[in-house]
């Protein structure tokens, strides 16, 4: 027998075994990645009821002429954040009492700013502007529900600065360190 051959007693080359194991591991990783991509796509294309939709995001179908225009010289909301936030309460003549951001956030997460805790779908927190935390939370959710643009996947933008769309981020300017200067 040739001493340079690397075969075992069974006649299988260890290099072949290693190659087969690597191929199997790579196939498993590929299958997992494809499965996750399919699940994420289905999750992102549902209308809330679990039914798959083929609707575009609201940012692609919204009429930008109806959005609050943030002037170029508008002071940003100061907060420990890596994104630029703006308070648009004054700009919208009181229609939208929101801080906006160039990223999407769910209505529940936006309105939860009124709550220190949510227990059994009830917002617990301090009163604000003469209303309980729950009343403010419900009013906020109702106002954001009025944004639902038909034939698209929410959330919908409410403001624009240049070509950048801005979405509700937090109710009132309380999230801004410079709130009193913005009102």
Query: Are 86 and 175 a contacting pair, CB within 8 Å?
Result: no
The boundaries of the domain holding residue 10 are 1-44
Q: What is the mean pLDDT of residues 143-156?
A: 75
81 shares its domain with 131: yes
State the chain's mean pLDDT as an integer: 79
For residues 66 and 21, state if they share a domain: no
Q: pTM for the full model?
A: 0.64
Residue 51 in any domain: the answer is no
Total domain count, the chain: 2
Q: Rounded CA gap, 88 and 77, in Å?
A: 10
Strands (E), the chain: 68-69, 86-87, 98-101, 117-119, 122-124, 159-161, 164-171
Same domain as 91, residue 37? no
Residue 50 lies in a domain: no
Whether 90 maps to a domain, the answer reads yes
Query: Is 52 inside a domain boundary?
Result: no
| Residue 143: partners with Cβ closer than 8 Å, 6 or more residues away | 96
Identify which has the larger pLDDT, 48 or 39.
39
Q: Evaluate whether 100 touches 110 at the Cβ level (below 8 Å).
A: no
Residues 78 and 168 in one domain: yes
Instruction: Note whether 113 and 85 are same-domain residues.
Output: yes
CB atoms within 10 A of CB 178: 14
pLDDT score at 182 = 61
Place of tokens 């299988």: 12
- Domain shared by 28 and 78, yes or no: no
Same domain, 99 and 163: yes
> Does 108 share its domain with 82?
yes
Q: Would you say residue 118 lies in a domain?
A: yes
49-61 in b/e burial notation, b at 16+ Cβ within 10 A? eeeeeebebbbee
In a domain, 7, yes or no: yes
Q: What is the pLDDT of residue 136?
A: 92
CA distance 24 to 167: 45
Pair type for strands 98-101 and 159-161: unpaired
In a domain, residue 167? The reply is yes
Predicted confidence (pLDDT) per residue in 97-111, tens digit: 899 999 888 888 899
The contacts found for 104-109 with CB under 8 angstroms, 24 or more apart, are 104/59, 104/155, 104/167, 105/155, 105/167, 105/168, 105/169, 106/155, 107/140, 107/141, 107/144, 107/145, 107/154, 107/155, 107/168, 108/141
Residue 31 inside a domain? The answer is yes
Do residues 5 and 65 both lie within one domain? Answer: no
Do 17 and 66 fall into the same domain?
Answer: no
Q: Are 117 and 142 members of one domain?
A: yes
Does residue 132 sit in the same domain as residue 70? Answer: yes
In this predicted model, what pLDDT tens digit does every residue of 59-97 receive, in sequence order? 777 888 888 999 998 888 887 777 889 988 877 776 788
User: Rounded to an integer, what distance in angstroms lies between the CA atom of residue 108 and that of residue 48?
Assistant: 13
């Amino acid at each position: 027998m040739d001493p340079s051959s690397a075969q075992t007693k069974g006649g299988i080359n260890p290099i072949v075994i290693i190659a087969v194991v690597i191929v199997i591991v790579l196939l498993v990783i590929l299958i997992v990645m494809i499965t996750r991509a399919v699940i994420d796509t289905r999750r992102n294309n549902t209308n809330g009821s679990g039914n798959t939709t083929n609707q575009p995001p609201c940012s692609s179908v919204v009429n930008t002429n109806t959005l609050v225009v943030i002037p170029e010289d508008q002071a940003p909301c100061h907060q420990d954040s890596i994104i630029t936030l703006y308070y648009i309460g004054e700009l919208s003549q009181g229609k939208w009492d929101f801080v906006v951001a160039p990223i999407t956030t769910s209505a529940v997460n936006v309105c939860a700013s009124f709550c220190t805790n949510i227990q059994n779908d009830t917002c617990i927190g301090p009163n604000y502007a003469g209303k309980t935390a729950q009343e403010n939370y419900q009013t906020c959710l109702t106002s954001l529900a009025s944004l639902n643009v038909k034939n698209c996947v929410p959330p919908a933008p409410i403001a624009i600065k240049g070509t950048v769309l801005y979405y509700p981020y937090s109710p009132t300017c309380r999230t801004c360190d410079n709130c009193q200067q913005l009102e």
